[in-house]
Structure 1
Amino acid sequence: MKTFDEFATALESLFDPREAQSIARIVFEDCFNLQRSQFAQVTLNDTQTARLQSIFSALQRNEPLQYILGQADFYGLKFKVDPRVLIPRPETEELVEWVLDTLNTSSFTTSPRILDIGTGSGCIPITLAKKQPRAELWGLDVSAAALALAQENARLNQVQVHWLEADILQEPHWPQHFPNHPAFDIIISNPPYIPEQEQELMPAQVTQFEPHLALFVSDDDPLVFYRQIARFAQQYLRVNGYLFFECNEYNAKAVLALLVETGWKQVELREDLSGKERMVRAVFA
């Protein structure tokens, strides 16, 4: 596999042709710093070929491409990723877009304060800090290992984010971490939402490599994070502040109902570009 076409053809034994082409393009761009117009003219040297074979072998083991390369693209930015954090998804880009639209069309203070709960790689607050330099961003996660990587990503993208290690389910600790309230104009979360019983339905790429702590929730109470974060937000959002959730397409309506039942206003459910119900926004009044 010394050429782009040879690599893409080999990948078709693992992926459908369209995905194989996409993966081959990403590898040649990110690993070898080549432009698409150069792919057909380049023959890789022995060192590059060995690297390509190593990548192919890792893909055969179901390892996600982003972990193999050590980075992921998100909203036009580069983020370091490894098994400490979830790989940023395109659906989360759509959530960020909704937050940015809200920031641009609402009357916030000159420096709106925004908290992302379950921040992982930090892709949400870092992107918002990059696109809205006047905002003050916070990222919270229960995992110290995830926060260490998020800090690296903030340095990589040259933004300032306040990081906090905490378990949002531990309500008695909230005043310790957030002594001042109301504290935020926007609270965002893409929490764990896949019931444990659905693990067997997930691709091996996900279950073998991505952190279960960030993915799965107890079968007994799959909405526990939504309920607790909504409760937290009712204490720490300013009046007319916004709460944003990313959801499982199968529980989005249940999240919407939970917010309506607990007194949130202007609760809106939005589909992603694939037509799946994946995002909810609500106003604290």
Structure 2
Amino acid sequence: MSEPLPPTTLTCAQALTAARALGLERLDAQLLLLHALGKPGADRAWLLTHDTMPLPQETARWFQELNLRRAAGEPLAYLVGSKEFFGLELQVDGRVLVPRPDTETLVEWALQQLAQAGMPASARVLDLGTGSGAIALALKKSRPVIDVTAVDASSDALAVAAANARQHQLPVHFLQSNWFENVSGLFNLIVSNPPYVADADPHLPALRHEPLQALTAGKDGLSDLRQIIDQAPTYLQPQGWLLLEHGYDQARAVRELLEQRGFAEVQSRADLAGIPRCSGGRWPDPAAGTGSQTAG
């Protein structure tokens, strides 16, 4: 076994300065250096107390490679191999989208619905297009008694999600299915963060490192949302809820689709930036004779 290469003259502080010169954000540079050093991202204070420490040559070379990849637009989460979402550290790579903070809005809304009177404690929940498993695992972690099924058309994505479930010891059912194609049974709550970017959206080049099939959905970005809204009632218990994430400018269109399909209490929820990020509605109980209506 070969001996490790001797340290370089490049210190931690100098390495971070070089990364900033490439255009990297300070936090990104720090997290990449910690990753190259084999230290957790929470150890940023360690860098301050070891700013004059010379880097091993292997570390310096790897850090430089990571910097160049980040400067070229590769997501930080792919480079370090993980992303925190709703208090869970999730493994992510190029097989799945990087979980976004905006999606926590959908999780919070889903948890509010699960806490409503009339919702069974062991509610059945379906997560369509689970990707890394972020939504499904966040819900299961927050409410362990619910029964969660996570669906994705991609076997690669399901492998990532299943690994995350094992890591956090969260029992979730995983199913390969193109939306509802292989789904059976009725659910009290269906949640989804489907593709909603238009095929010609000018922001797509900035997302080139992430799986395209998990991003785009036709000319207007609504193709998958239309399909989910159209088919969801077949799989919802009476009074069950469908909650959907969508683009920043799609709330009105999604609400209209929900109303046209017959959902009641149709409404939207804003993210932390005040942008309507999610829309959803309740599937009425035909026996109760309730009609569609829109909430604020």
Question: TM bucket by the smaller chain?
Answer: 0.7 to 0.9
The corresponding residue for 2:5 is none
Alignment counterpart, residue 3 of structure 1, candidates 9, 12, 22? 12
Using the alignment, how far apart are the partners of 2:217 and 2:121 within structure 1? 37
Measure how far apart 1:44 and its partner are.
Answer: 5.1
**Is the 2:16–2:29 Cα contact (8 Å) retained in structure 1?**
yes
Q: 1:8 to 1:161 in 2, by over 3 A?
A: farther
Q: Report the TM-score, using the length of structure 2 for normalisation.
A: 0.84
Measure how far apart 1:5 and its partner are.
Answer: 6.6
Q: Tell me the amino acid that sits aligned with residue 131 of structure 1.
A: S
Measure how far apart 1:127 and its partner are.
Answer: 1.1
The corresponding residue for 1:32 is 39
- Secondary structure of residue in 2 paired with 1:78: strand
1:243-262 to 2 correspondence within 5 Å? 243-262=242-261
Using the alignment, how far apart are the partners of 2:21 and 2:104 within structure 1? 28
Q: Greater Rg, structure 1 or structure 2?
A: 2
**Is the 1:2–1:49 Cα contact (8 Å) retained in structure 2?**
no
Measure how far apart 1:22 and its partner are.
Answer: 2.2
- Secondary structure of residue in 1 paired with 2:239: strand
Using the alignment, how far apart are the partners of 2:21 and 2:117 within structure 1? 47
1:1-285 to 2 correspondence within 5 Å? 2-4=11-13, 6-7=15-16, 10-11=19-20, 13-15=22-24, 20-28=25-33, 31-33=38-40, 35-42=43-50, 43=53, 45-46=55-56, 47-168=58-179, 174=181, 177-178=183-184, 180=185, 183-198=186-201, 200-204=202-206, 206-207=207-208, 209-219=209-219, 222-285=221-284
Q: Which moved more, 1:229-238 or 1:100-109?
A: 100-109
How many residue pairs get matched? 269
Using the alignment, how far apart are the partners of 2:251 and 2:31 within structure 1? 32
Q: Tell me the amino acid that sits aligned with residue 27 of structure 2.
A: S
Give structure 1 stretches of 5+ with no counterpart. Answer: none
Q: 1:136 to 1:5 in 2, by over 3 A?
A: farther
Using the alignment, how far apart are the partners of 1:151 and 1:8 within structure 2? 39
- Aligned CA RMSD, in angstroms, stands at 2.0
Measure how far apart 1:144 and its partner are.
Answer: 0.9
**Identity over aligned pairs, percent:** 33
Measure how far apart 1:28 and its partner are.
Answer: 4.9
Measure how far apart 1:243 and its partner are.
Answer: 0.6
**CA offsets 1:99-119 (integer angstroms, 9 cap, x no match):** 112222343213111001111
Q: Tell me the amino acid that sits aligned with residue 218 of structure 1.
A: G
**Is the 2:127–2:135 Cα contact (8 Å) retained in structure 1?**
yes
**Is the 2:82–2:92 Cα contact (8 Å) retained in structure 1?**
yes
**CA offsets 1:162-183 (integer angstroms, 9 cap, x no match):** 1111112xx7xx4x531x3xx1
Measure how far apart 1:8 and its partner are.
Answer: 5.3
Give structure 2 stretches of 5+ with no counterpart. Answer: 1-9, 285-296
